[in-house]
Amino acid sequence: ETGMFTFDPGFTSTASCESKITYIDGDKGELLYRGYPIEQLADKSDFMEVCYVLLYGELPSPAEKEKFLSDITYHTMVHEQMSRFFAGFRRDAHPMAIMVGVVGALASFYHDSTDINDPHQRMVASYRLIAKIPTIAAMAYKYSVGQPFVHPKNNLSYAGNFLNMMFSVPAEDYKISPTLEKAMDLIFILHADHEQNASTSTVRLAGSSGANPFACIAAGIACLWGPAHGGANEACLNMLEEIGTVDRIPEFIARAKDKSDPFRLMGFGHRVYKNFDPRATVMRDTAHKVLDELQIDDPLLDVAMELEKIALEDEYFVAKKLYPNVDFYSGIILKAMGFPTEMFTVLFALARTSGWIAQWKEMIEDPTQKIGRPRQLYTGSPRREYIDLDKR
Ligand code: SDX
């Protein structure tokens, strides 16, 4: 009994960890960050404020919000020597490979922040990660397209600064569209945290050994990369492009139902949501706004809308409670905003760093936490004697 929710004892007895950060009701399609409904945060808040809420549990006062913002922007630059890491990668390296490597390497530059027993250093490490991950992500993109790195500008919003680092070039001024800035901030809010998903559990497990926060976040990035998890937004767009036209949708629906075919409808289904993913609902509206603002008539959105309609009416998907998830629409918006598909999961990792670090902080500050040690059910051979080679 927490006074707010009455958990089914059977559920809590199997829960892998307790947390006060994010609550999901998969049947109702409900998502709360520290008790605040995602729809209200999406409508009224901004990503920096959501980072504060995830980290500290309460909405900041105006003064607290201003100080948090200045504390974060203080750390937006990376050590100049870090820019040399990128030259070690092939130009066509997947940016998630770069993110895993460079984020993990932050530990070799910010040794002071690796002292997990010092509350101040834990806070600095958290702020450094939230502040530097957009800079590193934009550097990964610039490197891939052969353009010069763009330094952060602390007079821009978090989302605006990221768009500027991504798309501005020295030869021309870059005008940040307020609609795109708002859409970017919204995408960050919607992807910020999601309870004990695979990558968050990876961060907690890595952190439970006392590994430094940079290494833990690098581990989370590695896990998120998978197409069943954060890689689904990139996989979803690739699927929509493979479908190509509305008339080919039935062929792919049939493949998704065929158990002998490993094909899954990317952007559909969820381990927890057996109703609409509330993030997908917000994302759907944003997709239309961005495409209208950019005057983009993207045939892929037509395919996506028709696929969603057919899937929601199909008895197989209805029976299995397979609904569009957060990744279904995010790819369409990101493509419309000019991001290449291989950057989609990088943006997911960028936003999720706030949730990962909040979950890491909660775990580290729990005096009862011990090193994680998932148990196994042994199904191998019973004890048996060794047979010498010449007797086999
Ligand atoms: C994210 O955990 C999180 O919170 C993750 C996330 C976050 O914010 O961190 O929400 C982000 O990862 C969202 C999910 C993104 N992934 C995809 O969109 C990839 C496509 N989706 C599937 O791979 C799948 O739905 C999973 C991996 C997401 C969930 O798979 P499960 O656990 O097998 O789902 P399930 O148990 O509910 O499946 C029920 C049935 C199964 O068939 P049966 O064994 O009962 O015969 O539905 C089938 C599944 O095979 N199924 C699908 C399907 N997803 C599930 N069939 C076709 N297409 C799909 N997409």
Say what the pLDDT of residue 160 is.
98
- The pLDDT-based confidence of 111 (bands split at 50, 70, 90) is confident
pLDDT per residue as tens digits for the range 192-208 = 999 999 999 999 999 99
Pocket test for ligand 1, best of 22, 32, 322 (most atoms within 8 A of CB): 322
Q: Which residue has the higher pLDDT, 320 or 11?
A: 320
pLDDT per residue as tens digits for the range 125-167 = 999 999 999 999 999 999 999 999 999 999 999 999 999 999 9
The total number of residues written for the chain in this structure: 392
Please report the atom of ligand 1 found closest to the CA of residue 194.
Answer: 8
Rounded to 5°, the CA angle 281-282-284 comes to 65
| Residue 151 a catalytic site member | no
Rounded distance from Cα 387 to ligand 1 centre (Å): 44
Say what the pLDDT of residue 211 is.
96
pLDDT at 6 over 80: no
> ipTM above 0.85?
yes
Order the strands of the 36-37 sheet from edge to edge: 22-25, 30-33, 36-37
Quote the DSSP letter at residue 138.
H
What percent of the chain shows pLDDT beyond 70?
96
pLDDT per residue as tens digits for the range 209-256 = 999 999 999 999 999 999 989 988 889 999 999 999 999 999 999 999
The C-alpha R_g of the chain, in whole angstroms, comes to: 22
Say what the pLDDT of residue 142 is.
97
Pocket test for ligand 1, best of 229, 240, 353 (most atoms within 8 A of CB): 229
Q: Is 10 exposed, middle or buried (0-12, 13-18, 19+ CB in 10 A)?
A: exposed
As for ligand 1, residues whose beta carbon falls within 6 Å of it are 194, 197, 228-229, 232, 256, 264-272, 320, 322, 325-327
Say what the pLDDT of residue 113 is.
86
Say what the pLDDT of residue 16 is.
67
Rounded distance from Cα 277 to ligand 1 centre (Å): 12
